[in-house]
A and B are shown apart, each in its own frame.
Chain A
């Protein structure tokens, strides 16, 4: 009995201690869900995608040892402020609202928001085209805010999902009529096996910079000096042509935006 208790104590304390050691590493939080083609887990348990490749390039440039740390998307900002992670690189758009709580690096990609719907549904990416329909969005995204402002008044319902992947699944299952999300991730979905069978992109929504933000940046704690390091490294990766090289492996066009 005593041995068991000691073992338990040792296990708990070493668990706490082991984590104290590494200080120079940067824990980069990504949403713990498949979000292709930017961040998704593979069968070996590694994280892959454009954003992971880009992160590796930026961290190599800034001489930071970055460790991908999956956390729940709906708790990713608390995870940052409570020091569970040091940076967010999870396709998080730079918005006024978020900047009240955290800092952002300069943007590293910017793509429009788009609507996907069942094939032949006749839905368009406008408030009129979505009137009376059930629209799916991911929680705590610019798309959820956009849907709440432009589509909620006339739509039947705006359904909020914890992950984009669940929203995609429900569009395929016919439980929502349309999705509003980032155009690239929706594009990847309608080209996937289950997406191609059911759904198509019906167009981008009208821009509203106040809601749709200024592109995707690295989320950081307020006043963290990492911000300058990330900004310099993003600049360098873009200048060296590394950015285009990574992008070409995933997309047929430039995703940096204007």
Chain B
């Protein structure tokens, strides 16, 4: 028993320089955050398009978007990641070569961002749709009456006005995105969780490395929460407090 307590506290294994594995873990953390951020932004673009399509699109667009969001929300992320990770690039290449192009080589990073982005997109579509609907229609009509184009209305009125409503949902999705990157470990992508398992497997100090990784993920969440709290206060400025 004392044996494993000593093993548990084998702190030099966490040193930043080799032979410590700390540097590798931090590198994994950086990759995780990079993918989460990339996937989140891609998801935001999909979400804006999806929400606009669901609210203002034609019947076919609306139905297809409904199929997309329903599928993503019903199928486990792990299965989606496997499907998209292997099928995504294969499909893209078939399309590219079908048009007579050279096969494209998709980096693992881009594939990871794509996968997280598609999953995030479905959830962000729903969050943003709700937020868009919360913008009083009179404001949009007024903007139209001023002679603004559709894009101008979106940029000047709708987006700023809906943001306070969207932020709680979007913030929650960001936290989900950071945790979903861990699933990429299953396709062999060396982000924080897989780097941790490799370190743990090599050194056999499973408990310590998993706790260390848990600590890093927790820090991401806590730091995010601080930023989110600040952003919420900022965007809510000047908006009357409405009792929920």
Listed in ascending order, the chain A residues whose CB lies under 8 Å from chain B are 1-2, 4-5, 7-9, 11-12, 15-16, 18-20, 22-23, 31-34, 36, 40-45, 69-73, 75-76, 78-79, 82-84, 163, 165-166, 169, 172, 192-194
Does A44 lie within 8 Å of B201, measured CB to CB?
no
On chain B, the residues within 8 Å of A19 by CB distance are 104-107, 110
Does A75 lie within 8 Å of B82, measured CB to CB?
yes
Per the bound structure, the CA–CA distance linking A44 and B19 in Å amounts to: 7
CB of A84, distance to nearest CB on chain B (Å): 7
On chain B, the residues within 8 Å of A71 by CB distance are 187-188
CB of A48, distance to nearest CB on chain B (Å): 10
Per the bound structure, the CA–CA distance linking A19 and B114 in Å amounts to: 14
B201 (CB) vs chain A CBs: closest residue: A165
Per the bound structure, the CA–CA distance linking A155 and B218 in Å amounts to: 43
Per the bound structure, the CA–CA distance linking A166 and B21 in Å amounts to: 19
| Interface residues in B93-122 (C-beta closer than 8 Å to A) | 93, 103-111, 113-114, 117
B199 (CB) vs chain A CBs: closest residue: A43
Choice from B18, B87, B189, B201 contacting A43 with Cβ under 8 Å = B18
A15 with B109: in contact, given A34-B198, A43-B18, A43-B21 (CB under 8 Å)? yes
On chain B, the residues within 8 Å of A16 by CB distance are 104, 106-107, 110
Listed in ascending order, the chain B residues whose CB lies under 8 Å from chain A are 18-21, 23-24, 27, 38, 41-42, 44-45, 82, 85-87, 89-90, 93, 103-111, 113-114, 117, 155, 159, 186-190, 194, 197-199, 201-202, 204, 206
Choice from B21, B104, B114, B155 contacting A20 with Cβ under 8 Å = B104
Does B105 lie within 8 Å of A32, measured CB to CB?
no
A43 with B23: in contact, given A18-B107, A19-B110 (CB under 8 Å)? yes
CB of B105, distance to nearest CB on chain A (Å): 5
A11 with B106: in contact, given A1-B155, A72-B188, A169-B201 (CB under 8 Å)? no
Per the bound structure, the CA–CA distance linking A241 and B105 in Å amounts to: 36
A-B contact pairs, 27 of them (CB 8 A): A12-B114, A15-B109, A16-B104, A19-B106, A19-B107, A20-B104, A20-B105, A32-B189, A32-B190, A33-B198, A43-B24, A44-B23, A44-B24, A69-B108, A72-B186, A72-B188, A73-B188, A76-B188, A78-B86, A82-B86, A82-B90, A83-B90, A83-B103, A84-B89, A84-B108, A192-B204, A193-B204
A15 with B198: in contact, given A9-B45, A42-B18, A45-B27 (CB under 8 Å)? no
A82 (CB) vs chain B CBs: closest residue: B90
Per the bound structure, the CA–CA distance linking A192 and B155 in Å amounts to: 62
On chain A, the residues within 8 Å of B86 by CB distance are 75, 78-79, 82, 84
B102 (CB) vs chain A CBs: closest residue: A20
A8 with B42: in contact, given A75-B188, A83-B105, A84-B108 (CB under 8 Å)? yes
Does B188 lie within 8 Å of A34, measured CB to CB?
no
Does B204 lie within 8 Å of A194, measured CB to CB?
yes
Does A32 lie within 8 Å of B110, measured CB to CB?
no
Does B204 lie within 8 Å of A169, measured CB to CB?
yes
B89 (CB) vs chain A CBs: closest residue: A82
CB of B101, distance to nearest CB on chain A (Å): 10
On chain B, the residues within 8 Å of A7 by CB distance are 41
Per the bound structure, the CA–CA distance linking A223 and B159 in Å amounts to: 53
CB of A214, distance to nearest CB on chain B (Å): 26
CB of B40, distance to nearest CB on chain A (Å): 9
B92 (CB) vs chain A CBs: closest residue: A16
Additional A-B contact list (4), CB under 8 Å, known A12-B42, A20-B105, A83-B105: A8-B45, A15-B109, A44-B18, A45-B27
Per the bound structure, the CA–CA distance linking A84 and B108 in Å amounts to: 8
A69 (CB) vs chain B CBs: closest residue: B108
On chain A, the residues within 8 Å of B20 by CB distance are 43
On chain B, the residues within 8 Å of A12 by CB distance are 38, 41-42, 110, 113-114, 117
